[in-house]
Structure 1
Amino acid sequence: MEQLLSLYEKWKGQQPAKVDKLAGAGSNRTYYRLCDADGESVVGVIGTSRDENHAFTYLANHFTHRQLPVPRILAVSDDGMRYLQSDLGSRSLFDAIQGGREAGGRYNLEEQELLRRTIRELPNIQIRGARGLEWENCYPQPEFDMDGVMFDLNYFKYCFLKATDLDFHELKLEANFRLLAKDLTEEKMDSFLYRDFQARNVMLDADGNPHFIDFQGGRKGPVYYDLASFLWQASARYSPKLRQELVKEYYEALKNYTEVPSIRHFTHRLNLFVLFRTLQVLGAYGFRGYFERKKHFIDSIPPAIENLRELLAMNVQGDENDEESAPMAFPYPYLMDLLQRLTELPQFAPTQETKKQRSDGYKTTDSTVYDANPKDGPATFSKYDGKGPLVVRIFSFSFHKGIPEDESGNGGGYVFDCRSTHNPGRYEPYKQITGLDEPVIRFLEDDGEILTFLESVYQLADHHVERYMQRGFTSLMFSFGCTGGQHRSVYCAQHLAEHIHEKYGIEVRVCHREQGITQVLK
């Protein structure tokens, strides 16, 4: 510590007025916030590996030269064991999206926007950051290769798979591991593989713009690894729909930096890395959880297994004539069979919550809407039957300003009165914000009345949507009213819209009338 203070004094010309030790991460490095008398701060780092420190300081200097959003290196000790870097603050993306994570993957609009900003910035550091980079400075190896992949796969085998007591044939598994490793490394890319791209390693400035830290393990490698690492992080519990949206965000952003393959090829390659990354993290969770008995990692195993279960459920061949349908039949039959048996072990049985999540996505194939009695004679049909596809319109409004008009000309629909639930508008902190803002969302959900109210609404709405889809109707309307059309009605309208869109995949048009906000979910 004294040597770090000496480094600060040599750089600043004075001793720091205040020193605070920062919370540790997964590495052996220790971090301190050093402040001068005016409150200006830098971060001091004490490492345990000269080579690892050198990798970080070299990469940080290189990325700074490329004008990328990373901390600047201010000073490095003569022995390379300590350095000072600019202070990016204390707000990480991990902290900023805590609410959605703790809500089981229900991320609000603000949290989703932070995720989109981050994923759009990733190609910047991967592609622009790789230009002119001298790879021999990377630690512990300069490139993503077969040896590194096999190490991680065997880490999964020894630290997780063997701990489950599941019987398997070592030689057959090894053969499939080698095939997977060959496929993962066959597409050479001159891009920067961050290696540890996760929400904890993204710092947000006052405007919510992402900055990157802890990239000292990076190396030359394919772009797919970091995307899989970020979006399939077990504890994040991103919904399949949100993942798909973020993959598209990344794919479109990547086009700004380099030539991209077809979406079919891109998705197929990404799926390989999702499989690899899932096995890799299970190995880490097994070691940290089963052997080191760290609760956080034990708790992370079930959602990681659920990720694996979802991946196996998608293990089917895509349509060769469909550009966006990526082949998902992994050519590793023994490995796939083994992983299927792994997910079926009693200790990994899905919870009621995951069963409910997997039940979403209702699709009707029933063309026989009614069972007719012979005495009834042939049925006649409404002029609205069979027109489809269904578009659902959902409004929030204030009862003081009247119920929204039905512009479809069909009449009907539902109007729900939210005024029986606890009103956040009665309290000063919520008067200037709406049901789309996190503080109001947390207020309503912590109170719980609104959730009970919506359970009945969802049940009624689901039945109605399904029947309208079966009959080919084109329009259905829901409206939610409250006193001011600002808090409870906005929350209910937005959540019903997202519920219907995620479950049925149909177009939903949302209008928060009193707030002047419209949105189309397609």
Structure 2
Amino acid sequence: MQHQKFFEDFVGRNADSFQKLPQSGSSRINYIATSAGTKYLVTYNENIRENEAFFYFSKLLKDLNLNTPTVFKINEDKNLYIQEFLGSKTLSEIISAEKESNRVKNLVQKSLKSLYELQTKTAGKADFSHSFEYERYDSLPIMHDLYYFKNFLIDVLEIEYHKSTLLKEFQKISEVVQKQAPKVLMIRDFQSRNILVDDKDDVFFIDYQGAMEGPAGYDVISFLYQAKAKFPEDFKAEMLDYYLSFWQTEFDRKALKSSFHWMMLMRFLQVLGAYGFRGLIQRKPHFLESLFLGIDNIFELSTVWTQISTDFPELYALIQKLKTQAARLKIEALIIE
């Protein structure tokens, strides 16, 4: 097998083990390889542009001594590479097992502090022309995320809405979201499934190849408000305050606070689009399991943040319809098929 041979050429001996890992939402194929008592992660991915973005950001973050993996070797075709093995347990798995234990709180705080360090240490140093799909969180990715929600959840469920009204609301949302600050390196898929925890309870970030320039609040909200974590409201509020405490100026703290609801709106809608596509269409279990939790998130936001109902009534009506028994029955029917 060429993937194993590539690894064995790197270590200069036969592998003690070479085990393929289950795939989740990505097309990447990962292996845990062991040689002379040391573990490595071997990755095969045919998407060269995605790989090149990962290689660039890996070097940038490692050069800044941030908690990300070292890439040891890349093949000539740039579709196979060996990286540092940072642990086999994700923060998501620990949260599922321990809920809001003291250990979980400590790991969440470590993750938020490391995120702040990543956001500030990379300021002015990242060349976003190396980004995979988008250089910045402007109208292109924002409208893509909004359409993702519409196309792969609302349209799949055949929920009625007034098309031009909804699309005009999407444009208004995009205009406001683009103005949110402060701007930093935004990982975009910053969640506990993409945080590894080692034997010393140190945390490491993975899956940052989608990084772009964007508002700092996006990754914080993605992390603390992920549907499957089910963090209580008081815990999320406490952790948001903890994260805000790192920012030195009142100007930045105020900008972040004013961005949080907008970031929730964007992240919740994007995630629902992903759950619709990966779950209802591609039938991937993880995404199906989280769909109703994602609906709960956006519905709860619509009840506490009145700006959705006042400024975006068509979107607000859609959110209410998602929470109805009729929508639930449609989703359950699609899950069973």
Q: Same fold (TM over 0.5)?
A: yes
Letter in 1 for 2:54: F
Q: How big is each residue's C-alpha offset from its partner over 1:48-105, in whole Å with a ceiling of 9 and x where there is no partner?
A: 11111111111111111000011111111111111111111212111222224xxxxx
Matches within 5 A, 1:354-369: none
Q: What SS does the aligned partner of 1:301 have? A: helix
1:193 aligns with 2:186: yes
* Partner of residue 286, structure 2: 296
Q: How big is each residue's C-alpha offset from its partner over 1:233-252, in whole Å with a ceiling of 9 and x where there is no partner?
A: 11111111111111111111
Matches within 5 A, 1:24-43: 24-36=23-35, 38-43=36-41
Q: What SS does the aligned partner of 1:62 have? A: helix
2:182–2:252 contact (8 Å) kept in structure 1: no
Change (3 A) 1:330 1:276: farther
Moved more, 261-270 or 116-125: 261-270
* Partner of residue 55, structure 2: 57
Which one of the candidate residues 260, 275, 287 is aligned to 1:285? 275
* Partner of residue 332, structure 2: none
- Residues in 2 aligned to 1:203 and 1:260: alpha-carbon distance in whole angstroms: 32
Shift of 1:263: 4.5
Q: What SS does the aligned partner of 1:305 have? A: helix
1:68–1:129 contact (8 Å) kept in structure 2: no
Shift of 1:141: 2.0
Structure 1 segments, 4+ long, off by >6 Å, are: none
- Residues in 2 aligned to 1:298 and 1:73: alpha-carbon distance in whole angstroms: 33
- Residues in 1 aligned to 2:311 and 2:326: alpha-carbon distance in whole angstroms: 27
* Partner of residue 19, structure 2: 20
2:68–2:206 contact (8 Å) kept in structure 1: yes
Matches within 5 A, 1:16-415: 16-36=15-35, 38-100=36-98, 106-187=99-180, 189-255=182-248, 259=249, 261=251, 263-316=253-306, 331-348=311-328
Letter in 1 for 2:293: P
- Residues in 2 aligned to 1:56 and 1:226: alpha-carbon distance in whole angstroms: 18
Letter in 2 for 1:148: P
1:16–1:35 contact (8 Å) kept in structure 2: yes
- Residues in 2 aligned to 1:294 and 1:72: alpha-carbon distance in whole angstroms: 30
- Residues in 2 aligned to 1:345 and 1:167: alpha-carbon distance in whole angstroms: 15
TM-score calculated relative to the size of structure 1: 0.59
Change (3 A) 1:115 1:188: closer
Q: What SS does the aligned partner of 2:190 have? A: coil
Q: What SS does the aligned partner of 1:97 have? A: helix
More helix as a share of residues: 2
Instruction: Name the % identity.
Output: 28
Q: How big is each residue's C-alpha offset from its partner over 1:379-402, in whole Å with a ceiling of 9 and x where there is no partner?
A: xxxxxxxxxxxxxxxxxxxxxxxx
Q: What SS does the aligned partner of 2:251 have? A: coil
Greater RCO (CA < 8 Å, at least 6 residues apart): 2
- Residues in 2 aligned to 1:334 and 1:181: alpha-carbon distance in whole angstroms: 15
2:302–2:309 contact (8 Å) kept in structure 1: no
Q: How big is each residue's C-alpha offset from its partner over 1:259-298, in whole Å with a ceiling of 9 and x where there is no partner?
A: 4536554222110010111111111111223223334323
TM-score calculated relative to the size of structure 2: 0.90
2:321–2:327 contact (8 Å) kept in structure 1: no
Structure 2 unaligned spans of 5+: 330-337
The structure number with the bigger radius of gyration is 1
Structure 1 unaligned spans of 5+: 101-105, 318-327, 350-522
